[in-house]
Amino acid sequence: MATEADQVRALQAAILERARELSAEHVSQGEMSRAKVIADMREKLKLMEEKELLSARVHAEREYHRRVQASELRIRAELDRNRWGLVQAVMDKLARRLVELREDESAYRPVFLALLRNGVEALAQPVVVAAINNGDRKRYHKRWSALVVEACGDSVEVRLAPETCSCSGGVRLVTLAGDCMIDNTFEGIIARREQELQRLVFERLFAHVAVQGSVIDG
């Protein structure tokens, strides 16, 4: 029969065994919990990285599109400046051609007569005053009356103003009372039709560009 001491030793051994089992069980549960925590943290880190990458990609795309749009605006502005410069160059060339026209008497005379007649008819007054530039005054003042009759007939009197007109060519006409004026100088005509002339020049210069653009866009 087991002695009391043997029973005590057996009980102690059982307790120690149970303690080892519980310890091993807790260690296993701890390892599982640790593994789960690590896995959860890794998953969260992965999601955070993906979110950061997505945010960075969206930001980069936005920045890219912003830069592309800014570049397109700069290019368009530069093209507009270049086109406007070409239009202005043509307008300047037109002004020089008109000066060359005035220097050619045979070509300029019918133009001058037509401008004189047009202004007189527009004023529709029996007496008008004409101002011309210094060069035309020297050229026409001795035969002014004959020139008026040739252009307008003898039913109207066109007096030559004592002061000259600051223009490259043509004629400026005013009524005797000075209450109405027709500016048929080259500068006056260009000023009245400047937008129309610029539009015409632009269309002639860049018609091929519009055609190419429509083909590409279509």
Report if residue 187 sits inside a domain: yes
Task: For the chain, 218 residues long, give each residue's pLDDT as a single digit of tens.
Answer: 557 777 767 767 777 777 677 777 777 777 787 778 788 788 887 888 788 888 878 878 888 878 878 777 787 777 767 777 777 777 778 788 888 888 898 999 999 999 999 999 999 999 999 999 999 999 999 999 999 999 999 999 999 999 999 999 999 999 998 899 999 999 998 888 878 877 877 787 776 554 344 333 33
Checking DSSP bridges between strand 170-175 and strand 157-160, what pairing results, if any? unpaired
Report if residue 182 sits inside a domain: yes
Q: What are 200's two structure tokens?
A: 């015409």
Report if residue 72 sits inside a domain: no
Most distant CA pair in the chain: distance in Å?
166
Report if residue 209 sits inside a domain: no
Give me the CATH number covering residue 179. 3.30.2320.30
Alpha helices, DSSP H, located in the chain: 4-103, 105-123, 134-140, 144-152, 186-192, 194-217
Number of domains in the chain: 1
Domain that holds residue 148: 105-192
Q: What are 203's two structure tokens?
A: 């269309």
195 neighbors 157 (Cβ within 8 angstroms): no
Quote the pTM value: 0.58
Report if residue 85 sits inside a domain: no
Query: Rounded to whole angstroms, what are the CA distances from 91 to 87, 188, 191?
Result: 6, 14, 11
